[in-house]
Structure 1
Amino acid sequence: MRILLIEDNAELVLTLRQSLAALGIAAEACGDGHQADALLREHAFDIVVLDLALPGLSGLQLLRRLRERGDSVPVLVLTASGDTHDRVLGLNAGADDYLPKPFDLAELEARLRALYRRRLGAVHAVVQVGGLAFDTLSRRFSVSGRHIDLPPREHDLLESLMAHPGRPVSKLALAQRLCSADAVLSHDALEVYVHRLRRRLDGSGAAIHTLRGLGYVLEADDAPA
């Protein structure tokens, strides 16, 4: 799961990124509304966590722009504690959920995972590509009903591709998904993980194809490369 955290409180951002990273959730952060709008135009995220009080462009303005251009990415709005007005404005502008500040990390994680499952299509969705299946609740992969274990980074890589079956995911997005909060994964290292994963998927009915200039796409292995 790759999220964009749009929040201008640097201390809160640092705490959240570290805590989410420990849970296997990659979070990119941005504290300015205009910069966040540009990021959302150029990159795909699984979920957006949005504070309404932002410099440059307000959270509500950003949310309205996002929906006006047809982007359906789930948005979790952070609101001031007990502020019903902010919650109503956010939901009316296209937010999918809200969470009042201060909040508990366990509740934030639960809401993020619920939104992620909903994005994949069901409360308990199993995504299928060829003979490869991914249970979004248990986060387990299987091939023809047989569970397969993957090292953490290969698991995260395959989960990121499985979240967008048949659609290209950029190398930058995948590298950011696999890196820690304070480390960068090189494209060469990413290619090594892709190569290892391709070998593991051999015979699964699913394959990772390279799309020049676009990134990687996970498709049934009889799909054109």
Structure 2
Amino acid sequence: MLNLILLEDEAVLRQELTEFLGDCGYRVSAVADLASFHGCYQPAQHRIAVIDLGLPDGDGLELVRALRARDRQLGIVVFTARGTTPDKISGLGGGADYYLPKSTDLDELAATLAALQRRLGEAQAPATWILELRSRRLLPPGCGPISLSQQDATVLQVLMAEPERIVSRQQIVQSLGEDFLDYDQRRLDTQIRRLRRKTEQATGLPLPINTARNAGYRFFADAAVRP
């Protein structure tokens, strides 16, 4: 998925958003103020920016206007405590693609970013991820195969069978032959994190799995499962 830069001055929320968006498959550069943003932001690298407006060293809306004037292709999402209609009109008029109040559920933020990514990638041909069950291998597009454990192959089979659909935690756990009521949910989260890390280390590509908080996971790229 695309690299993302997050500008949020509240330390606790910044950490929460960084972890959540990382679980959604983004590479997140998190900064706390305008000065840090300017020092970190790289137009060739960051394709999406999530920006707070109330900042200790200035107004995030001015940053939105400057970014939009300089880069028409950058995806910009304002995520702010300023939730009035005039604030929203100013943000969208200043160049934001989306304007979300901080009361927004994080799953809605993830869905908004996924929609924005699809728009940014419209001109790109879809790349297919292939899962080979017999040999227990994942074939990322344009890369060599990745060997999988039986559990990893089973989890990917459930997710890749219906791309773009959220698969519940219960369905994934049951596919592993486990009793959902007795299963430690942290085991599944750890397995997904390990799969993401393994894929990125082997190929440089992020594994296209989104976390649907309190619901399950979603494989959001073209996929094919072979016997």
Q: Give the alignment's TM-score, normalised by structure 2.
A: 0.55
Matched to 2:101, the amino acid is P
Structure 1 residue 74, shift from structure 2 partner: 0.2
Query: What residue in structure 1 maps to residue 75 of structure 2?
Result: 74
Query: What residue in structure 1 maps to residue 62 of structure 2?
Result: 61
Query: What residue in structure 1 maps to residue 7 of structure 2?
Result: 6
Contact 1:63 1:94 in 2 (8 A): yes
Q: Does 1:152 align with 2:196?
A: yes
Structure 1 residue 126, shift from structure 2 partner: 3.3
Query: What residue in structure 1 maps to residue 21 of structure 2?
Result: 20
Query: What residue in structure 2 maps to residue 120 of structure 1?
Result: 121
Instruction: Trace 1:106-185 onto structure 2 (pairs within 5 A).
Output: 106-121=107-122, 126-127=125-126, 133-134=127-128, 141-142=140-141, 152-153=196-197, 155-156=199-200, 158-159=204-205
Query: What residue in structure 1 maps to residue 88 of structure 2?
Result: 87
Structure 1 residue 95, shift from structure 2 partner: 0.5
Query: What residue in structure 1 maps to residue 33 of structure 2?
Result: 32
In structure 1, list runs of 5 or more residues that go unmatched. 128-132, 161-225
What is the CA deviation profile of residues 48-104 of structure 1, one whole-angstrom value per residue up to 9, with x for unaligned ones?
100111122311111122122235310000133641121111111110111112121
Structure 1 residue runs of 4 or more that deviate by more than 6 Å after TM superposition: none
CA-atom RMSD, angstroms? 2.8
Q: Which has the higher contact order (CA 8 A, sep 6+)?
A: 2
Q: Give the alignment's TM-score, normalised by structure 1.
A: 0.55
Question: Do the aligned partners of residues 106 and 70 (structure 1) sit closer, same or farther apart at CA in structure 2, a change above 3 Å counting?
Answer: closer
| Number of residue pairs the alignment of both structures matches | 146
Larger Rg: 2
In structure 2, list runs of 5 or more residues that go unmatched. 130-138, 148-194, 207-227
Matched to 2:94, the amino acid is A
Query: What residue in structure 2 maps to residue 203 of structure 1?
Result: none
